[in-house]
């Protein structure tokens, strides 16, 4: 399984843990809630869904809304298929949530992992955040060393681009420092006491760690840092 397909499967399982959805709803949530998936198409999503069904992690069910029921006779189309997470799929997703290997620190994978932090235990969140920060600090050190070596050979625009990339990484490191400090203090993003609202959201599957309706998104998206 490729890295990007693995990230997509992780996100699909996480979204379906909230509630069953049909393919269009899933793609919309992937596009609007997880910016890293904006480039994914139906041609990528549906093979992923079929793979998850074959693996026993999802089931396919016919749509039950009035619109779905009328779709076939009126428009000559099949009713939309609704995808539902199985017990095995939930168990598999929870196993993926507990993983804190190097892939969890990469730009795209970290963005997806962070989106589901509301369903992730605090100790795992800490390991992922600290791993991401360490990865970015290494990147920043390399960028500074490269800039110091090549500064005299760069034109003004290339130099400005290099500086912009460094500033983006520095901003994310500061953001991660704030998150890690909050986690260590036992606070969630709203400053609640440990084990309070965050744990309740995990139990109920209310948001799956995604931004709630009406809430502002975070200012710096991890996946936007320079590589």
pTM to 2 decimal places: 0.72
Confidence of residue 138 (pLDDT cuts 50, 70, 90): very high
Distance CA 227, CA 27 (A): 26
Give the ranges where the chain is alpha helix by DSSP (H): 3-18, 23-33, 42-54, 66-75, 87-97, 107-115, 122-150, 156-184, 197-204
Residue 118 is classified by DSSP as G
pLDDT digits (tens, 9 = 90+) for 49-65: 999 999 999 999 987 65
Determine which helix (DSSP H) or strand (DSSP E) holds 83, and give its type and residue range: strand 81-85
Q: Over range 101-126, report the average pLDDT.
A: 91
Among the residue ranges 18-22, 53-57, 108-112, 157-161, the one predicted with the least confidence is: 108-112
Cβ burial of 38 (10 Å; 0-12, 13-18, 19+) is exposed
Share of the chain above pLDDT 70, in %: 70
Residue 227, pLDDT > 50, answer: no
pLDDT at res. 126 = 96
pLDDT digits (tens, 9 = 90+) for 198-208: 333 333 333 33
Q: Identify whether the C-beta of residue 13 lies closer than 8 Å to the C-beta of residue 52.
A: yes
Q: Is residue 85 helix, strand or coil?
A: strand
Residue 84, pLDDT > 60, answer: yes
Share of the chain above pLDDT 90, in %: 52
Residue 42, pLDDT > 70, answer: no
Complete DSSP assignment for 161-218? HHHHHHHHHHHHHHHHHHHHHHHHTT--TT-PPTTSHHHHHHHHTSSTTSPPTTPPPP
Please report, for residues 14, 91, 109, 167, 185, the alpha-carbon distance to residue 100 in angstroms, rounded to integers and kept in the order given.
Answer: 16, 17, 11, 26, 21
Length of the chain: 227
pLDDT at res. 107 = 86
């Amino acid at each position: 399984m490729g890295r990007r397909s693995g990230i997509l499967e992780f996100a699909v399982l996480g979204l379906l843990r909230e509630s069953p959805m049909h393919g269009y709803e899933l793609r919309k949530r992937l596009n609007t809630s997880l910016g890293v998936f904006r480039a994914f198409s139906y041609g990528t999503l549906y093979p992923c869904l079929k793979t998850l069904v074959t693996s026993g992690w999802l089931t396919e069910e016919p749509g039950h809304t009035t619109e779905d029921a009328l779709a076939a006779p009126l428009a000559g189309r099949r009713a939309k298929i609704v995808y539902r997470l199985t017990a095995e799929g939930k168990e598999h997703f929870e196993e993926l949530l507990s993983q804190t290997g190097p892939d969890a620190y990469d730009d795209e994978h970290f963005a997806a992992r962070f989106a589901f932090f509301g369903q992730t235990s605090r100790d795992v969140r800490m390991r992922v955040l600290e791993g991401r920060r360490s990865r970015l600090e290494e990147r920043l050190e390399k960028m500074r060393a490269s800039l110091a070596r090549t500064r005299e050979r760069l034109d003004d625009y290339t130099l400005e681009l290099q500086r912009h990339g460094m500033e983006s990484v520095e901003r994310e490191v500061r953001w991660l420092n704030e998150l890690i400090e909050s986690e260590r203090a036992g606070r969630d993003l709203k400053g609640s006491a440990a084990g309070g609202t965050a744990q309740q959201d995990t139990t109920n599957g209310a948001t799956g760690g995604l931004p709630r309706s009406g809430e502002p998104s975070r200012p710096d998206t991890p996946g936007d840092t320079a590589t």
